Chain A
Amino acid sequence: MTENQPIIDVADLSVEFVSRDATVHAVNGVSFTLNPGEVLCILGESGSGKSVTLRALMRLLPSQARVYGQVMVGEQDTLRMSERDLADLRGSEVAMIFQEPMVAFDPVYTVGRQIIETIRRHDKVDGPEARQRALKLFERVQIPSPERRLKAFPHELSGGMSQRAMIALALACSPRVLLADEPTTALDATVQIQILLLLRELQREFGMAVIFVTHDVGVAVEIADRIAVMYAGRFVETGPAREIMGNPRHPYTRGLLSSTVQGQLRGQRLEAIPGSPPDMTQLAAGCAFAPRCRHVHPACLREVPAETWPTSDNMVRCLL
Chain B
Amino acid sequence: MSRRALDKNQQATVDSAQVAVQSRGYWATVLMRLGQDKVTLVCGAVLLTIILSAVFADAIALVDPYKANMLKRLKPIGTPGFPLGGDEMGRDMLTRLLYGGRLSLFMGVTPVVLALGIGGLLGLVAGFMGGRVNMLIMRVMDVFYAFPSVLLAVAISGALGAGVGNAIVSMTLVFIPPLTRVTESVTTQIRNLDYVEAARASGAGNLIIIRVHVLSNVLGPVFIYATSLISVSIILASGLSFLGLGTEPPEPEWGLMLNTLRQSIYVNPWVAALPGAMIFFTSITFNLLSDGVRSAMDVRL
Chain A positions near chain B (C-beta within 8 angstroms):
20-21, 269, 272, 274-276, 278-279, 291-292
Contact = CB atoms under 8 A, between A and B. Distances in A.
A291 B18 CA distance: 8
Interface in B10-26: 10-11, 13-15, 17-18, 20
Interface residues of B, number: 13
Contact of B7 (A20, A21, A274, A279): A274
Interface string B67-104: 00000000000000000000000000000000000000
A193 B20 CA distance: 39
Contact of A291 (B4, B17, B20): B17
A292 B36 contact: no
A276 B18 contact: yes
B132 interface: no
Contacts of B15: 275
A292 B15 CA distance: 10
A274 B36 contact: no
A272 B11 CA distance: 10
Contacts of A274: 7, 10-11, 13-14
B139 interface: no
Given A20-B36, A275-B11, A269 B18 contact: no
Contacts of A276: 18
21 contacts: A20-B33, A20-B36, A21-B33, A269-B3, A269-B4, A269-B7, A272-B7, A274-B7, A274-B10, A274-B13, A274-B14, A275-B14, A275-B15, A275-B17, A275-B18, A278-B18, A279-B18, A279-B20, A291-B17, A291-B18, A292-B14
Contacts of B18: 275-276, 278-279, 291
Contacts of B10: 274
B278 to A, nearest CB: 33
Contacts of B7: 269, 272, 274
A292 B7 CA distance: 12
A231 to B, nearest CB: 14
A233 to B, nearest CB: 16
A276 B7 CA distance: 14
Contacts of B14: 274-275, 291-292
